Structure 1
Amino acid sequence: MSAESQGSPDAFTRGRIAFRHWRWERPFWAGVVTIIGGAAIGYVPYHNMTFGQLGVRVGTTAGASALIIGVLLITLSLTMWFQREVRIFAGVASILLGLVSIPMTNLGALVGFLFAIVGGALAVAWAPGTPVPDDPGEQAELPGDGPKPVDDAADPFAGPADPALPADPFTTPEPVHAGAGADEETTEQNGRHRAG
């Protein structure tokens, strides 16, 4: 196989492309952020910290509710990925569970609360995109637009022609003078003299 020839992509490249398409068809990052929030809310009340030989346990009576809220947030994030039709419900439920976690789990593990709110907002705001045309001559269409013909000669940025305006808006038109004396007067007023 030469350096110039391109064979079929390997399994890693095919898997990466397939994952990219899967990710684009659903609110992927909303699910990731919500999973992080649910894991943080469910984990912090059961975490044991050690400072030297001193062990500190954060767990309180709110541990059960923290675990339930964390599991529900992780379930909602998986719902965002695999049932994207109910992403708005899952997003609103994630926001509400994030808010409920504040009084129920000792300030909602604060970081987990923020991640749950942001993940829910991302899920509510996500909308499926429209496919990009494959052929170079086609134009992408917005929803509700009909097909538009492609005209290569027309300038898409050209506006209506106005005879009073110059053809190039960045140049100033030359002044029109009545005669040679008017030309000398104009140059003297501008502070410039022309050499004969």
Structure 2
Amino acid sequence: MPLRDARRVLRGWRRTRPFWGGLLLILGGAELLIIPLSPLTVLVSLGLGGIAAIGIGIALMVAGLFLWLLPHAHHYVSVNALILSVLSFAATNLGGFLIGMILGIAGSAMGFGWTPVADDDRDAAGRPRLREGQGTRTLAVLLPVVLAGTALWGAAPAKAAPGDGEIVAARTPPTITTKLFAPKGFIVAGVRDIPTADGPMKVMVLRMNAASLTDYRLTTRDGSRELSLGAETLDLSGKVTLYLTKFKGCIQGILCLTFTPDRLPVPPLVPPFVFITQVSAEQALVTSDSVVAGGLRLEARA
């Protein structure tokens, strides 16, 4: 084989960084750019979706280069690349018709699961032993499968779970607004029917370990009066579950989206380290082990 020395140097460089994760991110970003970089008439017809595809595609390619050039930051880079990959489905042309999104998710998983090779795991020639990285490669392969499986499970409509029938929701869900919604823990979105006085109501279900809300306000009506409950801060913790008929907000304060039970994010997952601003939602029910409110106030208007 020609260029034996060059191939040896390249192999040694590749084994000291999440090379394949970075390569998949670069390919996923390039795939997202294919359609928006078509002739100008195509880009104009795509509108904001085309612009978002350009931005997310470039960001994923830069993330892939960062995995190659700054392998010590692979955790931070991979998490942000995963967020962009998932958002590409809603913000662009279906995540590059799923191809770019799947490549981005797989590359992020491989980058996050990569582990540097310790000196004790190298042979006399300085090359990694055969067992190097087997566990992390298995994790990287399984994570996209788990994400896809969770997406299918969460998107499938479900009837009320045991115990849900004990609580009857209001006929008209009150309106919730908050300037900042910061969930903590893994969130799964699904669809479910909950009982009301007028019959079942179709809602989205969001589950998390905890959540903090800033400048919280709940508005509902009691006959001819409008009732308003507000709080400067509201902290929910311990098996938090939100039942919503509508959710509108700006993810990371940039990408503004609206979700309903008939239009859920796919995959129905919210990655960690995500915050949502300017939230407006219709909340049928909320359950939590603990609720702590600061600056609570109650108002009634005719």
- Give the TM-score normalised by structure 1: 0.56
Task: Trace 1:31-42 onto structure 2 (pairs within 5 A).
Answer: 31-42=22-33
- Aligned-partner Cα distance in 2 for 1:133–1:76: 31
Aligned length: 121
SS at match of 1:129: coil
The structure 1 residue matched to 2:107, chosen from 111, 119, 123, is 119
1:49-99 Cα deviation digits (max 9, x unpaired): xxxxxxx94750111111010110010100000000110111111110001
Q: Which has the larger radius of gyration?
A: 1
Instruction: Give 1:42 shift.
Output: 1.7
Q: Higher relative contact order by CA 8 Å / sep ≥ 6: 1 or 2? A: 1
Q: Which deviations, in whole Å up to 9, do the C-alpha atoms of 1:147-175 show, x marking residues without a partner?
A: xxxxxxxxxxxxxxxxxxxxxxxxxxxxx
Report 1:50-89 matches (<5 A).
57=42, 59-61=45-47, 62-89=49-76
The one of 130, 133, 136 equivalent to 2:123 is 133
**RMSD value over aligned CA atoms?**
2.5
* d(CA) in 2 for partners of 1:17, 1:129: 17
Query: Is the counterpart of residue 94 in structure 1 residue 81 in structure 2?
Result: yes
Query: Which structure 1 segments of 5+ residues have no match?
Result: 1-8, 49-55, 136-141, 143-196
Q: What is the TM-score of this pair, normalised by structure 2?
A: 0.37
Give, in whole Å, the separation in 2 of the partners of 1:47 and 1:74: 18
What is the correspondence of 1:7-22 to structure 2 with a 5 Å cutoff? Answer: 12-22=3-13
Q: Which amino acid aligns with 1:86?
A: A
1:107 to 85, 94, 111: 94
Q: Tell me the percent identity.
A: 29
What whole-Å deviation, never above 9, does each CA across 1:113-146 have from its counterpart, x for those lacking one? 00000000000000011342318xxxxxx9xxxx
Residues 50 and 93 in structure 2, CA contact (< 8 A), matched pair in contact too: no
Secondary structure, aligned partner of 2:122: coil
Inter-partner Cα distance in structure 2 for 1:65 and 1:133: 47
Look up the equivalent residue of 1:108 and give its one-letter code: G
- Structure 2 residue runs of 5 or longer lacking an equivalent are 126-131, 133-302
Structure 2 match to 1:47: 38
Q: Quote the Cα distance in structure 1 between the aligned partners of 2:12 and 2:112.
A: 20
Looking at secondary structure, tell me which structure has more strand per residue: 2
Q: Read off the aligned partner of 2:16 and give its amino acid letter.
A: E
Aligned AA for 1:29? W
CA distance in 2, matches of 1:69, 1:133: 41
